[in-house]
Structures are given as C-alpha cells and as structure tokens.
Amino acid sequence: MLKIRNLSAAFGLALGLAFASGAAHAQDCTTKIGAVLPTSVDWGRPIAETAQFAVDQVNAAGGAAGCQIEMVLRDTQVDPKVGVDAAKALVDLEGVKVLLGAVSSGVSMPILTSVTVPGDVLQMSCCSSSTAFTGLAEEGKTNGLWFRTFATTGVQSAVGAKVAADKGYKTVAVMYKNDDWGQDMARQIAADFAAVGVEVTSSVAINDGQPSYRAEVTEALSGQPEALYLALYPAEGTAAVREWLSLGGTQNMILANALKSDEFRDNVGMQYLGSALGTDTASPRSESADAFRAAYMQRFDSEPNGPGLANSYDAAMIALLAMEAAGKDASGPDIAAAVAKVTDPSGTPVTADTAGFKAAKGVLAGGGTVMFQGATGNVRFDGNGDVSAPAVVWSFSDSGTEEVEYMSLADVDAFVASLK
C-alpha cells in the first residue's frame, strides 16, 4: 500500500541521478516536460515519484530526442483552478510541449480544454477515467492531443456491479464526488447495477470542504440500503463514512480505487472496514509487469500497490518515447502523432527500462516502430486515446491491501459486454 516517503529526498536523489546521467552522456541541452499531480495528498506523491523514476531511466539511456529531460512538477491539490493555473504556468512560462497529468478527471478536463488543446500540448494522464474524455475525442475536440493509460470508469463501475451481485446485495446507496469523475461514475453505476438486478436506492453528490455531510448521509440512508458504494477521494470519503457509521449505516461498502489509501483506512479505522471491498484496474500477469514491480521495489523499497503507480510509469515512458520518435524541437501535435509509432502492435518489442529505451532509440532512428511493453502490459490506445485493462477486487488489511479477485482483460471485456 502507499508508504509516505521523504519526497524532497527522493526527488533530490532523482535529480542527482539525472545530473550524473547527463554528465555521463556529455549532452549540452535539456528539454522540460510538465507534470501536474496532487503531491499534497498522500496517494499523489508516489504517483509523482514514479513518473520521475521513468524520467531518470530515460536520462540514463541518454535522454530523449538528444537532450536530457527535466520534469517540472506542480501540485494540483486535486483542485481544478489550482491545476489549471499550474498547467498554464508550465505551458506559458516553461514552454513544455508534453504535460503529464492530472489524476482527477475533474482537474484533467479543464486543463485539456483551456490549456493543452489551445496550446498544442500533448497531455498524457495516468489516472483520469471519466468517459467524458471519450465523448470529447469522438467530437474531435481533443485534436488528438489526449491520451490516458488508465481505463475508463466503465471498468470500475462494471466490476463494482459484479461485486454487489456476487455479495448478494439487492439495494445499494451511492455517494459520489461532485466533479466530472464522480458524476460519470454515478451515471455508469446506475446502469450497471440495474443490469445485474441491484437497485440504487439513492445517488448523492458530495462536495469538497463541507463542515458536515449529515444531510447527504441522511438522504443516502433513507432507502435503508444493504450496502454503500463510494466514488470519493480520501478526505471527503473519510468524513462521509464517519458520518454514515455514526448514523447507523452498514459496514458493507464497495469502494472505487480512489479510496485505496492509507489515509482513508487509518482515518476511518480498520475495525470498520472488514466488510469493505474495493475495485481497481490492474496490471496484466505479464513479464513486463513483473519487471516493473521488481524495479520499483529496488528503487523505493516498497511494493507498487498504491493507485495509479504502474499507469504513471507508463504514461511518462510512452510520452518520452514519443518525444524520441518525433525528434528534437518537435511540436506537441508531432509528439502526439508519434505515440502510434511507440505503441505499434507490429513494432519491435522494447522493455520498460533504460535498456529498452536505448533499444527503442536504435529502432526509431532506423525508421522502424516499437511495441512498448510496460508496467501495464502492451499498451494499446484506441482512436480516442483510451485503453482497456484487467481489474482486481481488493480488501484492506492492517499492512495495506490484499487482492481478493483478479479479472483478466478478456474477463473484463466479457463481463462489460454482458451488461449491455
């Protein structure tokens, strides 16, 4: 599970490694990329560290497109306005052509529409899952600049419905974050739960920063549901669940991946979460995923169990591979167009590490394409910049989380199809 590490020390080490690597390769240029990630929350810091890990590996391979890479990181605080301001600074002042982030769909969306699309900047998100991005891409409003390495809310919603059906719940109340992501989850859940015969007794929006959620919880309890589905982040999730339990709500809970957090578990109390089951997308059972896990443990001395870590690594590495394929001084649209060259199913397989990046350089320089084999497997983007993924059901434990069930990509696709 997530472990709070000394971020400044980790980033100091990362910068030291990057500097040493740059000196070793005697390069005299640096290219900046931007990252807008929620480093002020416990689950966001490891996501940022993992992106920096990918940057360090690329710099050890000689950088991308002839230059060392500097990742300029800004905190979004999971706040749309803060995120947009941070992204604007990175694009307008730092001149980045690639932006990693954000995590929350409610932060990524305004950045996409008001900063990266108007600024011709490639935006690669590790974790935003709202299907609203798919709709925007289908309407031609992303200009091909949007990609994400995390599957849409449809996967989590479907697996949540499976959990409810498997547990035999007939009625479920839903509390969701009142932003793009939460609203999308609520829409998906209503349809998927109905498809498996589970009634949603109420669907209640939760806003940030309220002194109390008693009114919202009272509304959710009014239908006397057998279980509670939570599509919330840890801060408001903790407050809402405490209120729920204090008013006699059930401990039968289904949790979206945003609550896969030490902060949530510790602040609510493990004694109240024994019946809670969470859902998340997952890395495939593949050699590339195992290799990432081993490399991560060597770097951070912990398992990559937090939300979005494998996805963050792949987002950074694919963006940097695309920069290599596009060449020095390439524009954002050129880099976005080059994503297809580094995720080509018919391309030369390359591993997700320094050696793999070096190998990719040679293939791309010779006019070939590569098939990136990453922490989340052989990443395949569709025409909207979306991916699909395997999934897991998990539970909290005293030391973190434990896997309850794994669903392969084929299993997920088949179950999602059955709901239609």
Q: What is the tens place of the pLDDT at every residue in 13-52?
A: 444 444 444 444 446 899 999 999 999 988 899 999 999 9
Predicted pLDDT of residue 162: 98
Identify the CATH assignment for 153-275+391-419 out of 3.30.70.1150, 3.40.50.2300, 3.40.50.880, 3.40.50.300: 3.40.50.2300
Average pLDDT, the chain: 92
Same CATH topology for 7-150+285-378 and 153-275+391-419?
yes
Domain boundaries, the chain: 7-150+285-378, 153-275+391-419
Work out the widest C-alpha separation in the chain, in whole angstroms.
67
CB 156 within 8 A of CB 225: no
Predicted pLDDT of residue 180: 85
Q: What is the mean pLDDT of residues 309-336?
A: 97
Q: What is the mean pLDDT of residues 52-59?
A: 98
**What element of type H or E holds 372?**
strand 370-374
- 355 or 12, which is more confident: 355
**What element of type H or E holds 33?**
strand 30-37
Predicted pLDDT of residue 372: 96
> Three-state DSSP class for 58?
helix
Among all chains, which residue has been given the structure tokens 């669907």?
Answer: 203
Q: For the domain covering 7-150+285-378, report its CATH number.
A: 3.40.50.2300
Total-model pTM: 0.80
